[in-house]
Amino acid sequence: MSAYHPFSLEDAIAYARSIPGFFAADAALTCEEIGDGNLNLVFRIADPKQKKSLIIKQALPYAKVVGESWPLSLDRARIEREALIIQHQLCPELVPAVYGGDDELAVTVMEDLSGYTIMRQGLIQGSTYERFAEHIGSFIATTLFYTSDLGMNQQEKKLQSSRFINPDLCKITEDLIFEDPYRDAENNNFTEDIREEAEKLWHDQALHLEVALLREKFLTHGEALLHGDLHTGSIFVTADSTKIIDPEFAYYGPMGFDIGAVIANLLLNYAAQPGWSSSNDILEERQAWLLTTIVGVWNHFEQHFRRLWDANGIDMMSKTPGYQDLYLKKVLKDAIGFAGCKVIRRIVGLSHVADVDTIADERSRRQAKITALEIGKQLVKGGRSASSITEVIAWAKAAAAKEGANV
């Protein structure tokens, strides 16, 4: 195999056999394509007899969600693989191992997580994950700290950041999150029953100002190596374990973006819960867990980040009294604003979430969308003035109560 070509099942098996020491030479391998994302092919290759398996992920030269009219660089596969390797080195228990890869073929070979559940699916089914906040807070704190000027040599950071210039995928974020929802864009995708709400977004200049400021941060603040797309579809979970995958949007950006992405996806599920909960008691229990988890994500992140900073911070000036507090206040404000942008995008933009879109009851589905938009707008508009993660909880509860009363 030399020149790039999209893998067939047979190609994936042949490549899997080339991974040193993984499968026996005479193993009878099976293969299935399991990708359900927007950008890639994903194959699971297994030796059923030995109960061994691995994943091969191959980037396509275009966005699957649109087609060949939206070309994308295959270099994103290298970026994803290198980001996974860095993140696994920093958090081996939270990131799958990488077994190999090929830049020309845009292939990454990694640990199979078949024993895990995609978190989005688990949340839709009503599952809760008591250690998730601790795990994701630790992952975000560790990966951001040790790839920032606080935790790594500043010159080495500059060299590393040059390997993660990711223009094609950053362009997707810039357009789909920070621009299209706020105008009558061709790529927008929303149902007619919320057209009035979508059009309000296009004319809300106060909202546009805050989005413009957040977009500027995304474009210019290269604080740390981000995962770049940290939603609940990129997180695999069990009751006791968490694994983070798919950092193909990785680039050097503002720390709050990754934290905001996690918060946003928990809030989207929160807004959708009336459509998934079979009783008021179950609804209250699930929504309470989601809001408690949001607080826990931030608190675990902040506590772990402060510990790393105090113990391993390498920048002398960062030890100046008061600087750490101001730095983390800034990260919190950014996270809240970015979370709001992520929520809004998932309701009126190109790519939605199953939490909302697969609600069977049409009335409940519309309510979830309106609730989510109300939460998203409040987070964007209130982010710069926020001083505590608990304000997010209050805004979410108020939005849910308001829309519930209007049903």
Same domain, 271 and 124: yes
What distance lies between CA 310 and its chain's CA centroid? 28
**Domain assignment of residue 219, yes or no:** yes
Domain boundary among the residues 80, 111, 142 is at: 111
Collapse the DSSP code of 19 into the 3-class scheme (helix H, G, I; strand E, B; otherwise coil) and give the result.
coil
Rounded-to-integer distance, Cα 71 and Cα 73, Å = 7
Which residue type sits at 359? Answer: I
Statement: the pTM of the whole predicted model exceeds 0.85: yes
**Spatial separation of the C-alpha atoms in residues 377 and 367, rounded to whole Å:** 15
Considering Cα of 86, then 237, then 241, then 272, what sign does the dihedral take? positive
Q: What are the φ and ψ backbone dihedral angles of 260, each rounded to 5 degrees? A: -60, -35
Measured CA to CA, the distance from residue 64 to residue 79 in angstroms comes to: 19
Reading the block at residue 242, the tokens are 């968490």
> Which of 339, 344, 327 shows the shortest CA–CA distance to 383?
339
Give the Cα separation of 211 and 354 in Å (integer). 25
Clarify whether residues 130 and 147 are in a common domain: yes
Reduce the DSSP state of residue 239 to 3 states and report it: coil
| Pair 183, 240 in one domain | yes
Q: Which of 63, 96, 111 is the last residue of a domain?
A: 111
Q: What is the pLDDT along the chain (407 residues), one digit of tens a residue?
A: 448 999 999 999 999 999 999 999 999 999 999 987 668 999 999 999 999 999 999 999 987 666 667 789 999 999 999 999 999 999 999 999 999 999 999 999 999 999 999 999 999 999 999 999 999 999 999 999 999 999 999 999 999 999 999 999 999 999 999 999 999 999 999 999 999 999 999 999 999 999 999 999 999 999 999 999 999 999 999 999 999 999 999 999 999 999 999 999 999 999 999 999 999 999 999 999 999 999 999 999 999 999 999 999 999 999 999 999 999 999 999 999 999 999 999 999 999 999 999 999 999 999 999 999 999 999 999 999 999 999 999 999 999 998 665 65
Same domain, 61 and 86: yes
**Strand partners of residue 118:** 236
- How high is the pLDDT of residue 62? 84
Give the pLDDT of residue 403: 65
**Cβ atoms of 46 and 52 closer than 8 Å:** yes
pLDDT at residue 333 in the model: 98
Are 200 and 54 members of one domain?
A: no
- Say whether 344 sits in a helix, a strand or coil: helix
Q: Where are the alpha helices (DSSP H) in 276-315?
A: 280-312
- Domain check: are 106 and 127 in the same one? no
Kindly state whether residue 402 falls inside one of the protein's structural domains: yes
Q: Would residue 319 count as lying in a domain?
A: yes
Q: How many structural domains does the chain have?
A: 2
Q: Are residues 274 and 393 in the same domain?
A: yes
* 304-326 CB burial, b ≥16 within 10 A, e <16: bbbebbeeebebeeeeeeeebee
> 81 and 191 share a domain?
no
Residues 239 and 315 in one domain: yes
Final residue belonging to a domain, choices 63, 93, 111: 111
Cα(33)–Cα(194) distance, rounded to whole angstroms? 35
Q: What is the CATH number of the domain that holds 65?
A: 3.30.200.20
Q: Specify whether 243 is located in the same domain as 363.
A: yes
Residues β-bridged to residue 46: 30, 53
Helices (H), 246-279: 256-272
Q: SS3 for 42?
A: strand
Q: 3 in a domain, yes or no?
A: no
Host domain of residue 316? 117-406
**398, amino acid identity:** A
The domain that holds 146 is classified in CATH as 3.90.1200.10
Residue 1 covered by a domain: no
For residues 77 and 169, state if they share a domain: no
Does residue 337 sit within a domain? yes
Written as six digits, the tokens of 156 are 């080495």
* 279 lies in the same domain as 344: yes
Tokens of 159: 């060299």
CB atoms within 10 A of CB 16: 25
In-domain check, residue 199: yes
